Structure 1
């Protein structure tokens, strides 16, 4: 787990800067210019199992990520140790950090950390923690969390088993898990896996205003234990 203090070099891809309003605060984000960007000259992403077609996905702001950020902007965070999984550009983590929360951002993509560090600095925030997370590996140094959050995480058939096990390993006895999902097919299998680990499931929909503005038709899925 690393504390990100310094603006890294701009990666060899085309990027854009945009402003996203969450609550009453404007956040500046660097993202990829489009979904055609790709750069893996040393094959790091390929060795991690990230194909050229999925490589750019981390670098876009998705509706699920905005829903998560807006939820975190009003969620009670005081005293909680928080982990964001698959943070991508890290909007929800930036929102939590701006509110003074103890949050660690994480992702599997090899250059997500660079983009996240840039976005921390673009928003004039203090350095914060980032962890490169592989759900298949034991990472005891990461520790345990009171609140684990994520958006649009369930891409592959093996993700429900991997993600539920990873969450369980890093959950405190009393924990809340919030996953925003755009109705991907692995959603039900993930919920069954979490229920098998004794988490209690509840579901909500986005507001009508969010649905219309973001064209989001998925679910806000919450799992609690303890």
Structure 2
């Protein structure tokens, strides 16, 4: 990619090998037209989307075995998009989203790198409603609760885009903001189960928690104003 140094990773998820083009390190930055700055992405945050983080691998592992039959799925803050690639490989109906202007070309490149059709992508700012996106049976995300205000913002995304009966799956490395997010989702009728998870090939090293929220149609009728 022009202006960037990249490298290719080989990652195994659910018995399949995925090749990923990622940024070489956290020092990569190029925003010549100021697009990222206008979106509120600072130079310190710029390269974060282009890394494969442990929480992203945990979410991808969960999606390798999740029941996705007949479900429309949204990945929020997809970054490099490994979980979306896993779902695309499984034939799921997946839409990936992020605010970063380079997330889409990186995801398209990595789809091709793995001989997959391009994952459907929508740029999303959590502050702004995106009515044409529609509603989903499952919403997934990894390590998106790294600032205090993100809990309420992500809950708003869930409220706008989750079906009456829906699941939300979040892999969280433990940054301290999952409790307010869980409270927000409880007010929307979701219950939560939590499990500690390790990465494939590293069974003795916990890498975070998997938060699995569920809501049925009866819960939405109870919580509706």
TM-score normalised per structure 1: 0.91
1:219 to 206, 209, 217: 209
Aligned positions of 1:39-50 closer than 5 A:
39-50=30-41
Aligned twin of 1:36? 27
Moved more, 211-220 or 24-33: 211-220
Aligned twin of 1:13? 4
Q: Deviations over 1:140-166 (max 9, x none)?
A: 110000011110001222111110011
1:134 to 102, 125, 135: 125
Q: Which runs of 4+ in 1 moved over 3 A?
A: 209-217
CA, structure 1 residues 214+177, in 2 after alignment: closer, same or farther (shift >3 Å)? farther
Does the 8 Å CA contact 2:55/2:207 hold for their aligned counterparts?
no
Displacement after TM superposition at 1:218 (Å): 2.0
Q: Deviations over 1:24-75 (max 9, x none)?
A: 1111100000011011111111111111111110000000011111111111
Cα distance between partner residues in 1 of 2:117 and 2:103: 18
CA, structure 1 residues 214+34, in 2 after alignment: closer, same or farther (shift >3 Å)? farther
Does the 8 Å CA contact 2:85/2:119 hold for their aligned counterparts?
no
Does the 8 Å CA contact 1:38/1:52 hold for their aligned counterparts?
yes
1:154 to 141, 145, 149: 145
Aligned twin of 2:188? 197
CA, structure 1 residues 215+40, in 2 after alignment: closer, same or farther (shift >3 Å)? farther
Is 1:118 paired with 2:118? Answer: no
Structure with the bigger RCO (C-alpha within 8 Å, sep 6+) is 1
Cα distance between partner residues in 2 of 1:34 and 1:215: 23
2:66 to 52, 57, 75: 75
Cα distance between partner residues in 2 of 1:118 and 1:214: 33
Displacement after TM superposition at 1:216 (Å): 4.1
Give 5+ residue unaligned stretches, structure 2.
217-225
TM-score normalised per structure 2: 0.92
1:104 to 85, 95, 99: 95
CA RMSD of aligned residues (A): 1.5
Aligned twin of 1:170? 161
